[in-house]
Chains A and B, each alone.
Chain A
Amino acid sequence: MKIAVLVKQIPDPSGVGKLDSKDHLLVRDQGEVVLDPGDSYGVEAALQLANGDGEVVAISMGAEKAVEVIRKAMAMGASAGVLISDERLRGSDALATARVLAAAVKGVAPDLLIACTESTDGYTGTVPAAIAELLEWPSLTFAKELQVEGKMVRIHRQTPNGHDVVEAELPAVVTVTGGINEPRYPTLKGIVAARTRLLDQPTLEDLEIDPAIVGVGGAGQRIVAVEAAPQRQGGEVIEDQGESAQRLADYLAELKVI
């Protein structure tokens, strides 16, 4: 079985993000970049399904630096990678991103594409299902459990009050939620092996993507203003000396919840 997994480089989520002062686009080439923590669940899910004898291909669209997150996925166990990196892609909207990634996935021709439900920096969450639509594949989203049997994929899809059991025929797109598994750490051996693994870097022309539909020019949206949001003011903070329970109970009584 061949499984493709989407990975994304994002600014370190524990740091403070930054927008370019001129075009308001996220600054992606400065500071620490990391593999989106959500994607590590996708990589792990792919590796578990491949179970040693399948093939796992990590696919990313991003700045040159995104090669690092593909290498991270390879260090975890992915056998190959595809990086689409082109200055013309900067500022692409979610639809253009889906179009580029769909073209790359088509080239890899996997049985299954796995992604996380939404990225930790942009958290749009529409790209995987849009890719599925472009490829005319079914999409099974918000998976908290994932199984493949023969030509069928079945998930437990998170719902507001439980889960739905959802099934489709392969090839398909699955998005996984955090907590679906416990992502492995790359081993030293894996890190070394990752350096020699095959990395494909197709151009927009290879993918037959019209440059006019991507980047800032191809986007159907443009940030026109950025401003600081009003922030809450902090209140009283006390040190617990054994009597804070009374203070908390008094406060709850004051708020009339007890």
Chain B
Amino acid sequence: MAKKILVYVEMAGSEIAPVSLEVLTKARQLGDVEAVVLDPEAAAAAAAIGSYGATTLYAGIDEDYRKFVAQPAAAALASLAAEQDPDLILFGATYDARDICARLSARAGLTVLANATDVQAQDDSFVAISSIFGATQNVTTELSGPSPCILLRPKSLPAESVGGSPAKVVSVSLPAGAPRGASRLESVVAPASGPKLEEARVVVSGGRGLQDSSNFELLEELATLLHGAVGASRAVVDAGWVPYARQVGQTGKTVKPDVYVACGISGAMQHTVGMKGAKHIIAINKDREAPIFKLCDLGVVGDVLKVLPALIAELKSRGVSG
């Protein structure tokens, strides 16, 4: 009998979050896919979810899924999981999904594995693949027990539609008495120009070698010329130079641009796990022994504070204007 896979699909506004499409695509290879969306606009996702191969959409449209963080969604998922008894529950690893998955795990007593890059079906269980020690080793973990939960890292797997018909919508209600918890009072969108870090064709990232937060302006300028986005290493995020949202690496984002320019980044494993999937890597660092030079396609041993201004001037002299 085919296995039943439940996919938690997240909405980004009125669209399905890109990582959820990756997860739906993976789920098709593992068994019969049903999706759950907990969002006031859930029903609007039926066509897209169907085209990615899910037969059923469990839709919860309570406003409180948006207003409160994780707790109502976890309560609804726990009751759905108890009723449907899926063989596996898959999530794309987003800020919200991680909290929801964690709470679901505790509420329903389900094991949870985070940071998976792939999932495979065995005869009577599932295994998750994840990478450890800065992606130098891959571990295969077998999951057991009722409805194991797996969080898949964004950009680990492709998203491919199969053109199925719209999923059948089944409404789910928020369990009576479910606690609401922390409420969202306001959403602030930081002013941003240029492409998003995760979607940019070019990413220009900076690390400790930039010496001072004000030197990040050089990266902004180069990124603008290259129509790219600016990223950062954990060290400079921890130092408070740039917000966490810019962090590339194990505890930050995974990026797979065509070109990744690492400026003053030594290439600690914590960082490289988030960028080694780039098609081409350029590194500028003054330490010839920095590990980043072992994985770049073109490396420049030099002071990033001299090389960057020279590169910006050179690009401008070639008529590049961003």
Contact = CB atoms under 8 A, between A and B. Distances in A.
Interface of A: 13-14, 16-17, 19, 24, 37-38, 41, 93-95, 98-99, 117-118, 120, 123-134, 136-142, 144, 154, 156-168, 172, 177-179, 182, 219-229, 231-240, 242, 244-249, 251-253, 255, 257-258
B268 A14 contact: yes
A140 B311 contact: no
Given A158-B244, A247-B298, A257-B258, A139 B70 contact: yes
A238 B251 contact: no
Contacts, number: 300
Given A95-B111, A144-B243, A136 B139 contact: no
Contact of B280 (A166, A221, A255): A255
B261 to A, nearest CB: 9
B148 A240 contact: no
Contacts of A226: 137-140
A158 B196 CA distance: 15
Given A172-B182, A255-B258, A231 B187 contact: no
Interface string B162-185: 000000000000000001011111
Interface string B132-157: 11011111111111001001000000
B201 interface: yes
A158 B95 contact: yes
Interface string B234-250: 10011111011101001
Contact of B240 (A37, A179, A245): A179
Interface of B: 69-71, 74, 94-95, 98-99, 101-103, 105-107, 109-115, 127-128, 131-133, 135-145, 148, 151, 179, 181-190, 192, 196, 198, 201-202, 225-228, 234, 237-241, 243-245, 247, 250-251, 258-259, 268, 270, 276, 280-282, 284, 288, 293-303, 306-307, 310-311, 313-315, 318, 320
Contact of A252 (B106, B226, B251): B226
A132 B306 contact: no
Contact of A167 (B132, B182, B297): B182
A235 B179 CA distance: 55
Interface-centre pick from B109, B148, B238 (highest chain A CB count, 10 A): B238
Given A95-B110, A221-B144, A244-B300, A142 B70 contact: no
Nearest to B235: A178
Given A157-B69, A158-B243, A221 B148 contact: yes
B182 A257 contact: no
A245 B315 CA distance: 9
B111 A16 contact: no
A22 B121 CA distance: 24
A225 B141 CA distance: 7
The majority secondary structure among interface residues of chain A is mixed
Contacts of B282: 248, 251-252
Nearest to B241: A179
Contact of B270 (A98, A120, A133, A232): A120
B259 A257 contact: yes
A182 B240 contact: yes
A240 B112 CA distance: 48
Contacts of B302: 239-240, 244
A131 B250 CA distance: 23
B187 A162 contact: yes
Contacts of A164: 69, 184-188
B299 A162 contact: no
B311 A165 contact: no
B136 A231 contact: yes
A168 B183 contact: yes
Given A160-B95, A160-B245, A258-B320, A167 B144 contact: no
Given A123-B250, A237-B299, A249-B314, A98 B245 contact: no
A220 B141 CA distance: 10
A141 B95 contact: yes
